[in-house]
Amino acid sequence: MTSAKSPTLSARIERWPIAGAFTISRGTKYEAVTVVAEIALGDHVGRGECLPYPRYGETPDGAQAALLAMRDMVAHGLDRHALQAAMPACAARNALDCALLDLEAKRSDRRAWDLLGRPQPKAVTTAYTISLGSPETMAEATAVAAHRPLLKIKLGGEGDVARIAAVRKAAPESELIVDANEAWTPDSLERNLAACARAGVTLVEQPLPAGRDEALALIQRPVAVCADESVHDRSSLEGLRGRYDAVNIKLDKSGGLTEALAMADAAKALGLDIMVGCMVATSLSMAPAMLLAPQARFIDLDGPLLLARDRDHGLRYEGSLVHPPAPELWG
């Protein structure tokens, strides 16, 4: 039996139109389909959002079902620490982890970073993503965004040397990071890395498929390489030795902020730089990730900038400067 004073968990699927289209090496999407977890207790409601990712076998329906399966445990007092063992690392666990922390912050009238003993996040510069396309199309999109200090360029394999050169010409002053989303091969790796070096690219994200990235340890890397699909939570960090220089920590991969913060500490101890990343989602997904920003070399939290509209009380963006969340949004 549960009482009226027991927390009640609900979960719903939401659809958020993307402004235009968002294209990477695996395809094009026109909307972000997110799953929101809400935990109500008394006058307070804690919220968390996730974006289930097909690359990892996740679906919105599956994530919603996984959340609803946790209702009894939540009603009986499940906390963030017990959650880590109760669910595997996945997008659904992220939504629940963040909802539990949001509820704790609201009930205690304290900010989430204070509860966690973490530094208060400050406004930081986020990358702005240029979708994959022809060199000409990408150059046009880059020229419009060339005033932004940090651009993240989506690449796709064949033709990437031309894309890199075209983008750099269109944005001569911006810092560039590129994301191949596993689209390169061992045969193209050194050629593409050399093109990135010539263009002054700072970081190359996930050039080779996860599980088939041995070639990264066999070459001299002229540009720092960041793991994304090859790294999920702390258990996957050790396998990056000799292959990667940085890790992209995303809450949907790590299974929530609780694990993501521990993962950032462990990555730093291994000498790895940190990128805090995101899926294309609303500010409710970005807000918890802001707590990772003080440890990160790169911030990639531009999801709401790619949407046709954001939710109420969304993060405040001034150009590429993103501010910490208001308590009305999260935490």
Q: Express each pLDDT in 191-244 by its tens digit.
A: 999 999 999 999 999 999 999 999 999 999 999 999 999 999 999 999 999 999
Determine which one of 29, 106, 122, 250 is catalytic: 250
Across all residues in the chain, what is the average pLDDT?
96
Q: How far is 80 from 78, CA to CA, in rounded Å?
A: 7
Edge-to-edge strand ranges of the sheet holding 27-41: 8-24, 27-41, 44-50
Clarify whether 152 is annotated catalytic: no
Q: What is the pLDDT of residue 1?
A: 34
Cα 28 off chain centre by: 18
Confidence of residue 282 (pLDDT cuts 50, 70, 90): very high
Q: What is the pTM of this model?
A: 0.95
Topology annotation, domain 8-111: Enolase-like; domain 1 (3.30.390)
Q: Express each pLDDT in 165-190 by its tens digit.
A: 999 999 999 999 999 999 999 999 99
Determine which one of 106, 122, 152, 154 is catalytic: 154
Residues 203 and 180 sit within 8 Å (Cβ to Cβ): no
Q: Express each pLDDT in 69-119 by its tens digit.
A: 999 999 999 999 999 999 999 999 999 999 999 999 999 999 999 999 999
Confidence of residue 27 (pLDDT cuts 50, 70, 90): confident
Q: What is the pLDDT of residue 168?
A: 98
Q: What is the pLDDT of residue 23?
A: 86
Q: Express each pLDDT in 134-162 by its tens digit.
A: 999 999 999 999 999 999 999 999 999 99
Residues 90 and 66 sit within 8 Å (Cβ to Cβ): yes
Residue with tokens 């902020």: 257
Clarify whether 154 is annotated catalytic: yes
What CATH number matches the domain at 124-322, 3.20.20.120, 3.30.70.980, 3.90.1150.10, 3.30.470.20? 3.20.20.120
Where do the domains of the chain lie? 8-111, 124-322
